[in-house]
Amino acid sequence: MSIEGLDRLFAPRSVALVGASPRPDSLGRSIVRKIREGGFQGQLALVNPNHPLIDDLPTVPHLAALNFVPDVVVIATPRETVPALVQQAADLGAAAAIIITAGFTQDDPLTAELREITRRTSIRIVGPNCMGLIAPRTHFDASFAAKPALPGDLALISQSGAIATAILEWAHANKAGFSAVLSLGDKCDVDFADCLDYFAQDRATRAILLYIEDLTDARKFMSAARAAARVKPVLVVKAGRSRKRRATGLTHSSRLAAPDLVYEAAFRRAGLLRVYDLDELFAAAETLAHVTPFTGDRIGILTNGGGLGQLALDRIVDLGGEIATLSDETIAKLNARFGDTWSGTNPVDIRGDSGPEAHADALAALLDDAGIDALLVMNSPTALASSKDIATKITETVKAYRSRAMRPKPVFGNWAGQQTESEEIFAQARIPCYNTEADAVRGLMYLVRWRRAQDSLMALPARFLSEFMPDTKGARAIIDEALAEERQWLNPAEAAGVLACYGIRTAPVSVVAQADDAGLAAEAMMALGAPVALKIVSQDIIHKSEVGGVMLNLAGRHAVAEAARKMNERVLAARPDAIIEGFAVQSMVPLEGGRELIAGLTDDPLFGPVIVFGRGGTAVEVIDDKAIGLPPLDMKLAADLIAHTRVSRMLDAYQGVPAANREEVARTLVKLAQMAVDLPELLDVDLNPLMADVHGVIALDARMMIGKPAQGRKRGPNPRLAIKPYPKEWERSLTLKGGWKVDVRPIRPDDAPLYGPFFENVTREDLRLRFFAPMKDFSDAFIAKLTHLDYSRAMAFAAIDHETGGLLGVVRLHADADHREGEYAILLRSDLKGRGLGWALMKLIIDYARQDGLETISGQILRENTTMLGMCEALGFTARTDPDDADLKVVTLDLNATAFGRPAA
């Protein structure tokens, strides 16, 4: 992830265009015209060796002839000339090159040459094969879009130039403005993650719109997307939903995990709002262009037509919204104003003959209602009152309300039909207005969905991971033995062994080679009082039931042996090429109202390991009820995954059947996700059926496909995970002064309950020194921000008392988007100073920063905090006064020059 050079790309002070042309219909001439019409005020040079004057502007023959260093070089020349031009631009010191030229492919040698230039130099490349860039704030338009972009606070990042121009056409007609519009094209260098990092911290950007066709680096994208979505709405349109699942998959899980479903899971996990077509994107953009996100989801409706209001109410309910209940005070106000001529409830229908003043009075009452979080004002044109006059009065009322409200609630408009004059009135007042009630509700619900996504991202999970201690070594030993025999599949007993190492219950199973041995194994199992299941064992047969390789409810030694012989004959007749290794004899487990589920693991080509959950059984792919999630999971994420399926409703009690143990289902998914983290050799898993009843869950059948890891790769977390997992390798046990034992480990989301008692043991003065302001209350959302980390760009080490398990102190580090500099902060319990804990935590975070590849770490310290300043000096930090605040010191440690206060060796 990198935003290096992007500040000069989006706000250039000097530009060179290579490929400028005097031909009226040429691409180069079009871009010259766009740059000039856009009003660019910086230096502009045209490069063309054949024409000394283009569009009344002098040219230079080549980049080296420029008398200034351009921030941006725009290239619109034949493809074979592009790499040399980019290299020349890099040699000059240009920050970025925008390559409009088309005709490149991903495996093109010229594309590889461009990537090599970006690797060797600091130049950033946009494109090739892109529409260009429009930055309205700096009046820079280097594109071939037909319409200019109006200034505003939406950032549009599109892989497709055609989609970008279509959105610009809509935006121009609807007065929606942009902080930037960028077409990425082939994404040779600058990609979605870079842009998300840049616009997440851009104060002039309030929301980000993405059009994605494909991604190339899942972990980079997920890290940037999760960071951006926490600070502003990010909407995404993803093309390719019709691409089919992998027909060649060897497990149910691999065939259920269609590529678009994995993208959907990734967007949901990151907190992005996905829309499915340009109509939805336009509705969302109309909302985001005029309304800031709001808290709450209780919606009030004001209308002059009952039918219109009822349609809106139905649509809100369909989309999962909540209809506000009017307060007694609001009802009294409306009764006093309208008597019995209004609807008496929400939607508030004040009838078709109501004029501007009546609308204003009703709206004022609803705006003052604390039980309403957002308002939709609807108007159906009548001959009895002017819709334009009503719109004017509505905007006046909203402006007056905004001027006095601390946190004004948003107002949305639906003026039915094409009411251009009214729409213009609303646009000037920054009130989104829609032609249909469906669009209005959909636009409003985008912000509700974003707020709910934020709540979900910041929710505190149940404490479970700290209690879960899998036998990872035992599982690896089973897998390693099978890999040593060059097998692709674990046999049923081995699969049960791996599951046992992770605490997932299975039915007792025995694998035997001969039919008579199957009878003996069954006899031993039936001593428990239950019949057995008999299954064929073969590396060549994936789905046993399809070839008659499964028999249930068998009883008796001789009956099982005979069934095994017949099964062998039947299977060989169906699959004469298969090598039969033997039989699995498995105890039939009696269940009380068991539900058939599937829980699985498969490897997506882009996002790596993914978890599959849904309705199980032999018809699993026909029923096609499933949800996809990205590991790692916690209990809340697992519960959300379950809730995204239809079968989740069957886990509840119904018609005398007790509810299944939903929590144990979630625990099983968390455990399966941890297997994906710990065991990269595990490629595919099917637990089908995974039976769930009131007592818990049990896997009745397990298939596990394995593969050797990349040669030379060390043991550790799965490198293909799209989300960096909990870094267990950084857990430490420390012995401090006086033999005091302290456990130090990376912080986890389920550590949130530790913070309450911790803050009670920190004085208000120490809190002020840490947060630079008085701190009294700590909300769940605030604590969630402290415990929900993206380990790709942040780390926090928690010091835990070895005896009590209480939180003693925390040191944290957050890297910048270029992953060069990190900012640290530390806080200890006030009664523990002087015992060496702060020094130990600082040494650990410095060690982590150095191993993570950072170049420097820094922190802000109040000038009066002499204790912290002294410790930093002893650790090798240098200190200077903050240029923006004389009361602050900025301390910085060069990680390449020092090692805990001493010069590095």
The DSSP line for 271-313 is TPEEE-SHHHHHHHHHHHHH----S--EEEEEES-HHHHHHHH
Q: Report the pLDDT value the prediction gives residue 240, as an integer from 0 to 100.
A: 84
Mean pLDDT calculated for residue range 184-202: 95
Is residue 524's pLDDT more than 60?
yes
Supply 151's token pair. 């200034």
Distance CA 265, CA 823 (A): 31
Strands (E), 298-438: 298-303, 322-323, 348-349, 374-379, 411-415, 433-434
Q: Is 862 left (phi over 0), alpha (psi -120 to 50) or beta?
A: beta
Q: Report the pLDDT value the prediction gives residue 316, as an integer from 0 to 100.
A: 93
Mean pLDDT calculated for residue range 121-138: 95
Neighbours of 10 (CB within 10 A): 27
Supply 700's token pair. 């009745």
Share of the chain above pLDDT 90, in %: 69
Q: What is the mean pLDDT of the chain?
A: 90
pLDDT tens digits for 826-879?
A: 999 999 988 899 999 999 999 999 999 999 999 999 898 898 999 999 999 999
Q: Is the CB of residue 842 less than 8 Å from the CB of residue 826? A: yes
Q: Is the CB of residue 200 less than 8 Å from the CB of residue 231? A: yes
Q: Is the CB of residue 133 less than 8 Å from the CB of residue 182? A: yes
Lowest mean pLDDT among 51-55, 201-205, 319-323, 896-900: 896-900
Q: Is the CB of residue 757 less than 8 Å from the CB of residue 827? A: no
Strands (E), 72-149: 72-75, 96-99, 124-126, 132-135, 140-143
Distance CA 149, CA 290 (A): 16
Distance CA 458, CA 787 (A): 9
Kindly give the pairing relationship between strand 298-303 and strand 273-275.
Answer: unpaired
Is residue 244's pLDDT more than 70?
no
Q: pLDDT band at residue 362, thresholds of 50, 70 and 90?
A: very high
Mean pLDDT calculated for residue range 477-495: 94
Q: pLDDT band at residue 72, thresholds of 50, 70 and 90?
A: very high
First to last CA, the chain: 30
Q: Is the CB of residue 324 less than 8 Å from the CB of residue 301? A: no
Q: Report the pLDDT value the prediction gives residue 898, as an integer from 0 to 100.
A: 57
What string of H, E and C letters represents the secondary structure of 528-551?
HCCCEEEEEECCCCCCHHHHCCEE
Neighbours of 496 (CB within 10 A): 25
Supply 737's token pair. 């002064």
What string of H, E and C letters represents the secondary structure of 850-881?
HHCCCCEEEEEEECCCHHHHHHHHHCCCEEEE
Is residue 901's pLDDT more than 50?
no
Is residue 1's pLDDT more than 50?
no
Q: Is the CB of residue 220 less than 8 Å from the CB of residue 248? A: no
Distance CA 656, CA 653 (A): 7
Is residue 427's pLDDT more than 50?
yes
pLDDT tens digits for 563-599?
A: 999 999 999 999 999 999 999 999 988 777 889 999 9
Is residue 92's pLDDT more than 60?
yes
Beta-bridge partners for 599? 613, 687
Q: Report the pLDDT value the prediction gives residue 453, as an integer from 0 to 100.
A: 80
Neighbours of 666 (CB within 10 A): 24
In the numeric block, the tokens 């530790």 are attached to 754
Beta-bridge partners for 532? 554, 587
Supply 338's token pair. 């309208």
**Cis, bond preceding 632 (omega within 30 deg of 0):** yes
Give the three-state DSSP class for 316: helix
| DSSP 8-state assignment for residue 710 | P
Give the three-state DSSP class for 102: coil
Pick the closest to residue 56 from 19, 8, 22 (CA basis): 22
Is residue 904's pLDDT more than 60?
no
Distance CA 599, CA 698 (A): 11
pLDDT tens digits for 604-632?
A: 999 999 999 999 988 888 899 999 999 99
* HSE-CB for 180 with a 13 A CA cutoff: 26
Share of the chain above pLDDT 70, in %: 96
Distance CA 887, CA 877 (A): 18
Q: Is the CB of residue 79 less than 8 Å from the CB of residue 111? A: no
Supply 283's token pair. 């509705």
Distance CA 113, CA 119 (A): 10
Q: Report the pLDDT value the prediction gives residue 527, as an integer from 0 to 100.
A: 78
Which pTM does this prediction carry?
A: 0.89
- Across 363-377, 431-445, 890-904, the highest mean pLDDT is recorded for 363-377
What is the helix (H) or strand (E) element at residue 180, kind and residue range?
A: strand 177-183
CA dihedral sign, ordered 229, 232, 234, 235: positive
Q: Report the pLDDT value the prediction gives residue 899, as an integer from 0 to 100.
A: 54
Q: How many helices (H) and strands (E) does the chain have?
A: 28, 40
Supply 661's token pair. 């143990």
CA dihedral sign, ordered 105, 106, 112, 117: positive
What is the helix (H) or strand (E) element at residue 744, kind and residue range?
A: strand 740-746
In the numeric block, the tokens 């009843």 are attached to 693
Supply 184's token pair. 């990425």
In the numeric block, the tokens 């691999």 are attached to 254
Distance CA 263, CA 240 (A): 10
Beta-bridge partners for 43? 14
